[in-house]
């Protein structure tokens, strides 16, 4: 019994000693907390291009309506609908018979006028020596000269009439005024056409090059003009489909808009695009990726690294002693989930990206490199 009490006393004494030792080490551990684990990004200046996707419509570079210049019956259509047409190609043939008959009639009238002129000249030439010899009256000679002049005028009029009739005959063959792709025929064989018809016979559109018309804010237009100078290349624009997927086609801005819409404050921005495969058709809805700004050396931080307090943006920066501090920054565009840093940071600084929620001023941290989802030497982003 005494032995058991002795062993129990030794055990209690040991536990008391261990308890006192634990109480002494607890303050030491609380005074030196381990550093916080954070992911950091080392800032580097990179080239940054900022663009904006805007809705746009495709328009033909040149468009022509095919109309009859004379009235008549359409006999033949001489083209395949939707085909490529050369300038001067005959598209429709209007009945030539009436116009050919008018040409022959005008030619006969010209011959009659020329015969009358020849007779008047001979008469005037015969009376000339008789007038000098005073064998005929002055009145008779003057009448002969007047008849000769009138016959010459009749010949000139007959020639003009014949030229007009020949022109009408030529207009019976309706030709293409420009080269391009022709739409479906709007009239068929047997139709009666005239120059006063409201509906054209067909339409031709030149689409080897097309315009992509974009509505752009007038305030942005001047900044785009400043980017293009006499010593700078023209601004290129990427063309995207209606699903926002790139089509692999590019154009250049023409800056043809000269009028601001009073309702919206926008101007028409016209982009000229080469279209050799005819992928862009007039009226098609597309999107144009318009350049907004270009920065040769820009700093950017991930969106998740930015905190805001009362509207002021700031980021956590790690100093040389592995301590963090909040640095106010001025931010620019948000591109690819990264803010462009206007001021407040410099290249080489380490910015905390992950682990921000546990930080406090002058807290010690253990850093590891932040791994972005995608990285590249040159950033090209779209502002939505």
What's the average model confidence in pLDDT over 53-70? 93
- Would the pLDDT of 372 be above 90? no
Query: Could you read off the pLDDT of 158-171 as tens digits, one per residue?
Result: 999 999 999 999 99
- In contact, 270 and 257? CB cutoff 8 Å: yes
Q: How does residue 378 score in pLDDT terms, banded at 50, 70 and 90?
A: very low
- 247-253, Cβ contacts within 8 angstroms, sequence gap of 24 or more: 247/279, 247/286, 249/273, 249/274, 249/275, 249/279, 249/280, 251/212, 251/288, 253/224, 253/228, 253/290
Pairing mode, if any, of strands 285-302 and 338-343?
antiparallel
Share of the chain above pLDDT 70, in %: 84
Share of the chain above pLDDT 90, in %: 46
pTM over 0.85? The answer is no
What's the average model confidence in pLDDT over 52-57? 90
- Would the pLDDT of 201 be above 70? yes
Q: How does residue 17 score in pLDDT terms, banded at 50, 70 and 90?
A: very low
CATH number 1.10.357.140 is the correct assignment for the domain at 96-171: no
Q: Residue 112's pLDDT is what?
A: 95
Could you tell me the CA-to-CA distances from 294 to 280, 341, 379 in Å, in that order?
28, 14, 10
What's the average model confidence in pLDDT over 271-286? 92
Q: Which residues pair with 182 in a beta bridge?
A: 204
- In contact, 302 and 345? CB cutoff 8 Å: no
Query: Could you read off the pLDDT of 119-138 as tens digits, one per residue?
Result: 999 988 888 888 788 787 88
- Would the pLDDT of 43 be above 80? yes
Residues 6+ apart with CB under 8 A from 379: 46, 47, 48, 49, 298, 300, 335, 336, 338
**Secondary element (H or E) of residue 60:** strand 46-66
**Secondary element (H or E) of residue 30:** helix 2-31
Topology of the domain covering 36-48+296-383: 2.40.420
Average pLDDT value for the chain: 84
Instruction: Give dist(CA 355, CA 370) in Å, integer.
Output: 11
Ranges of each domain in the chain: 36-48+296-383, 53-61+208-293, 70-92+174-199, 96-171
Which residues in 309-335 are b (16+ Cβ under 10 Å) and which e?
A: eeeebbbbbbeeeeebebeebebbbbb
Q: Residue 180's pLDDT is what?
A: 92
Kindly report which listed range (48-57, 220-229, 324-333) carries the lowest average pLDDT score: 220-229
What's the average model confidence in pLDDT over 75-97? 94
What's the average model confidence in pLDDT over 186-200? 93
What the block records as the tokens of 94 is 């209007």
Q: What count of other Cβ atoms lies within 10 Å of the Cβ of residue 238?
A: 20
Q: Residue 230's pLDDT is what?
A: 44
- Would the pLDDT of 143 be above 90? no
What the block records as the tokens of 27 is 């303050």
- In contact, 141 and 127? CB cutoff 8 Å: yes
- Would the pLDDT of 31 be above 70? no
Q: Residue 204's pLDDT is what?
A: 95
| CATH architecture entry for 70-92+174-199 | Beta Barrel (2.40)
Query: Could you read off the pLDDT of 206-250 as tens digits, one per residue?
Result: 999 999 998 877 777 776 766 655 455 567 899 999 888 999 999
| CATH architecture entry for 53-61+208-293 | Beta Barrel (2.40)
- Would the pLDDT of 356 be above 70? yes
Q: Residue 265's pLDDT is what?
A: 76
Could you tell me the CA-to-CA distances from 311 to 188, 307, 331, 347 in Å, in that order?
70, 9, 12, 25
């Amino acid at each position: 019994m005494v032995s058991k009490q002795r062993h129990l006393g030794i055990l209690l004494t040991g536990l008391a000693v261990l308890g006192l030792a634990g109480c002494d080490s607890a303050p030491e551990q609380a005074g030196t907390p381990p550093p916080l684990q954070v992911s950091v990004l080392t800032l580097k200046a990179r080239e940054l291009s900022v663009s904006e996707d805007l809705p746009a419509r495709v328009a033909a570079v040149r468009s022509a309506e095919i109309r009859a210049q004379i009235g008549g019956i359409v006999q033949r259509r001489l083209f395949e609908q939707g085909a490529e047409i050369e300038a001067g190609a005959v598209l429709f043939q209007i009945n030539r018979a009436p116009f050919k008959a008018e040409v022959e009639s005008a030619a006969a009238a010209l011959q009659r006028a020329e015969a009358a002129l020849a007779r008047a000249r001979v008469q005037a030439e015969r009376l000339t020596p008789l007038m000098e010899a005073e064998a005929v009256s002055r009145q008779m000679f003057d009448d002969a000269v007047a008849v000769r002049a009138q016959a010459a005028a009749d010949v000139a009029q007959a020639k003009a009439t014949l030229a007009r009739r020949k022109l009408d005959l030529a207009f019976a063959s309706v030709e293409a005024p420009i080269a391009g792709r022709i739409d479906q025929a709007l009239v068929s064989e047997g139709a009666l056409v005239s120059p006063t018809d409201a509906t054209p016979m067909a339409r031709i559109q030149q689409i080897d090059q097309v315009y992509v018309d974009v509505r752009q804010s007038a305030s942005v237009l001047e900044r785009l003009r400043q980017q293009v100078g006499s010593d700078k290349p023209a601004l290129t624009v990427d063309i995207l489909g209606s699903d926002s997927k790139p089509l692999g086609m590019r154009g250049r801005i023409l800056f043809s808009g000269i009028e601001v819409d009073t309702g919206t404050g926008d101007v028409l921005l016209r982009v000229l695009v080469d279209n050799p495969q005819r992928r862009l058709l007039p009226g098609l809805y597309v999107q144009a990726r318009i350049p907004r700004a270009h920065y040769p050396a820009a700093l950017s931080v991930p969106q998740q690294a930015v905190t805001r307090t009362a509207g002021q943006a700031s980021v956590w920066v790690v100093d040389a002693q592995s301590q963090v501090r909040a640095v106010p920054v001025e931010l620019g565009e948000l591109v690819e989930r990264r803010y462009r840093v206007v001021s407040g940071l410099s290249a080489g600084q380490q910015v905390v990206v992950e682990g921000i929620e546990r930080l406090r001023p002058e807290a010690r941290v253990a850093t590891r490199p932040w791994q972005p989802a995608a990285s590249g030497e040159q950033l090209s982003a779209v502002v939505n």
